[in-house]
Structure 1
Amino acid sequence: MTASVARVLLVVILGLAPWLGCAAGSGYVWISDLPAADRRAPSDPVVRPGDTLSVVVRQQATLSGDFPVQDDGRYTQPLVGHIPVEGLTPKQVQERLAAQLVGIVQEPRVSVAISVPRPPRVAVTGEVATPGRYELHPGDGLLHAIAMAGGLTEFGRADRVFVLRQQPRPLRVRFDYEALAQGDVHGRSFELRDGDVVLVE
């Protein structure tokens, strides 16, 4: 095992720590019982490191442009400096920037959008061939995430596949791998989100 892979696995294990105490218990909800709103990605996404923000300050071309969000969750706004934006919606970033521009621009009118979102990343661990972190692309679901990790090992239980999520609230969703492979409508409608952990027991 290489040092980089070992570091990835350590991060995944530490991230799972809050869940390990209930791994064998009943602290989960079956995907068929999960409300539809929790299966879909949020309609108002938040800013993450790696995103690119499109900022438009009305009649201020030098303050407008596309700006990358750095690993520390901030982006650099001309004449303002570093602005923390991680975890904020574009509207919240817009309001924060407008407040920062008071005194610099007369009656600042600002619009902010995520022009280039960073692909969501999920961790796949447990009884899979190649545990690690993987980037998802539009349309990639739980089956694809497991496939990227090499599929279930011979010890993996098809009926004990979980997705662990901490935001906006702790959630532990159980799936049946074989039902997913056969086109289960509930499982197919479930959208993985950035930071999710896929655990196969």
Structure 2
Amino acid sequence: MESEKYLRDISDIRNLMQRSSRFISLSGLSGILAGIYALTGAAIAYILVTSSGRPYLILDGYTFRMVLLDLLLVALLSIGTAIYLSTRKARKNGEKIWDSASKRLVVNFLIPMIAGGLYILIILDQQKYGQTGALMLIFYGLALVNASKYSLGDIRYLGYTEIVLGLISALLPGYGFWLWVAGFGIMHIVYGLVMYFKYDKS
């Protein structure tokens, strides 16, 4: 009897420590919606490029600016949805949305993302944009792996997948668009569904 109480106390302490050091209110539904946004954005970009009369983008062209706006809208929708749904989940669970754990999560996620974003802008300015999709996947994957230390550990598996897809895209640049679709669209939906049924639904 005493041993069972002791083990239960240890389990409670471990759970408390995990909650204080990790932000665990990420919503699986936000991952699903981010994937849907990415697939929709990719479809719009594909239509824009194929209807432009060229099989490629010109950096100073109208089509490129529209595709860039398309990507920006996808990113903003994904971020906004993640913040809204995670905030709602945290409040439902009686947890703080902005504490030391969530701050560490955001900082560790943003470091690779900002570095990667700046690097991509530099190579775009140099008109070296053949590897842009691969770099997006790789730096996003690195950001997820880096942030997973301060959130649900399952996130790192999505990060590993994004990195692998990015490396394949670098090897096969002709398939970069479809690998981007797989990484940001399909894999987000798969990850979101796993997280939803593993954490949210219960």
TM > 0.5 fold call: no
Q: TM-score, normalised by structure 2?
A: 0.22
More helix by share: 2
Give the alignment's TM-score, normalised by structure 1. 0.22
Structure in which a larger fraction of residues adopt strand: 1
